[in-house]
Structure 1
Amino acid sequence: MPHAFAPTSPFDAEQALRLGRETVHIEAEALQHMAARLGDSFVQAVQRILATPGRVVVMGMGKSGHVGRKIAATLASTGTPSFFVHPAEASHGDLGMVTGVDLLLALSNSGESSEITVLLPMLKRQGVPLIAMTGGLQSTLARYADLVLDCSVQREACPLNLAPTTSTTTQLAMGDALAVALLDARGFRPEDFARSHPGGALGRKLLTHVRDVMRTGDQVPRVPPQADFSTLMREMSAKGVGAAAVVDEAGRPVGIFTDGDLRRRIEAGADLRGMRAQDLMHAQPRTIAADALAADAAQAMERHAITSVLVTDAQGLLVGVVHIGDLMRAKVI
């Protein structure tokens, strides 16, 4: 059985491209108009949210609900505690999630979504502050609201002027505008964002420290300056880092010898069998502190074209080594 909405004529590529471009132009124009309208009500909305001791509760029905979920998630991840409550479920018990110390952000293009308007008298009696995000500036939702954010549009991008397209785009942009203004007012930093995204790439870069990924104890290849070439090579092979630290009697690294150094010595025709670690090493090796970010270790490796960095403590003693493979396994790079 054919699909109920199967094409009745051959696909018109030019028509599809024209409609695609027209949609983008219509929505971009609507956003420009909305940006020009932003004023005192937007500033007051940011101030009210900043002063809210509880959470921002976001509600929306249908497509506005989908946008509302995204707005709630964006607010929560940028320093403004927030969650979404479905208005239909709110009428059947979930309204108990909303308390007098919270603030309600309600989305409705028309401002007459019955699932939301039926809740308004109850929320008003509870003393819950209400910010409306709507295109219906004379609607029921707007009349109940303490503040109205104007998301009105001249037309939907849908050729039938029916499917929520331009209106949901403006709602989404208004939500992003609130989130950005709020995170700036709160002094929200990349480190704060990372704490909300520990599983993401940014979280790993800003939360993972060298101590979390470095090799310690017997895993660290080290030899004294007087070690012969054979001992040096056995230590490098056993630890699998591609390098060995040369440390003095106190345990401070005075040099390093790497696979690259070995290759260059052999290519130069040097006889290494009678040489000692102190004759082969690079003095003043690159080091990093254990409490430095692992991303800093990655940058040091890239900057100096090396694959491992020695880790030292406040006294300059060797406490570990971090290899590029360790950073890759931790997904820092």
Structure 2
Amino acid sequence: MENQNNVTEFVFIGLWGNKKMELLFVFLFLLCYLTVLLGNFIISLTITCSHLMQQPMYYFLCHLSLMDVSYTSTVVPRLIRDLAAARKNISYNNCMTQLFTAHLLAGVEIFILVSMAFDCYVAIVKPLHYMVLMNRQRCNMLIVLAWVVSFWHSIALLLTVLKLPFCGPNQIDHYVCDVKPLLKLVCKDIHVVSILVIANSGMVAVAIFLVLVASYIIILYNLRRHSSAGQKKALSTCSSHITVVVLFFVPCIYIYVLPAGSENKDKEISVFYTVIAPMLNPLIYTLRNMEMKITMRKVWSKVTHSDLN
């Protein structure tokens, strides 16, 4: 039987049904979004205007900041608009575009986190081979690979959803077009599709998370061979990575491993990786990183000095 799609637009139910609470959160999410923009702009400016850009860790961090801003911008501006609007509608085409873009950018962010873990692993476990293994060509290759893998992941999800028939309800119990809330609106059995989605997103997220955890265990084990100063610096860097990884992966795993029909707190928990994690990342990577703080002061001093002149 040919799939029929009678839906031309979707309507978001949103985070809360209480209008007064939604208006209060317009201001809160706007503040969060401005914090994301400002924090990641400062990190990007500090790295690109200093010697830090030559170091693989900061090179990846600069790309991570760019992804944080891009990913948050696909979700939060519409969320803010919808919180203030009487009707939270989105066209079918715009919904599919948001689905594809959000998964593409989130995928790139995940693989940049993997690249940063790999950089940390090589620096601690194979320090003598670090300059060879983590040259700029290798770093660029890892960034390109992140985009390629994420693109195919997003295309696979998009094609899966485009083939599904939406012929009745069009209210999405969420604040963003994502595959799981959309599956609840499909007018056919979604058992097989749910398994494919869990395999594509949930199991992949679990596998990557376990690889990252294993790499950090090996890193911490190999730290015994380093001096106390080296251990302190490495622990500071690794703890920042681990915090960011946990903030991003744990909510993702919770959401995408459970089947679409299950009653859970998907939309509330997704706030962690769409808003909170991108907002906290700049703080996590700067507060415990002395080199970053010193460089920020130097860049700020250089900028203000040139303005005065």
Would you call these one fold, judging by a TM-score over 0.5? no
Q: Which has the higher strand share?
A: 1
Q: Which has the higher helix share?
A: 2
TM range (shorter): under 0.3
TM-score, length basis structure 2: 0.22
TM-score, length basis structure 1: 0.21
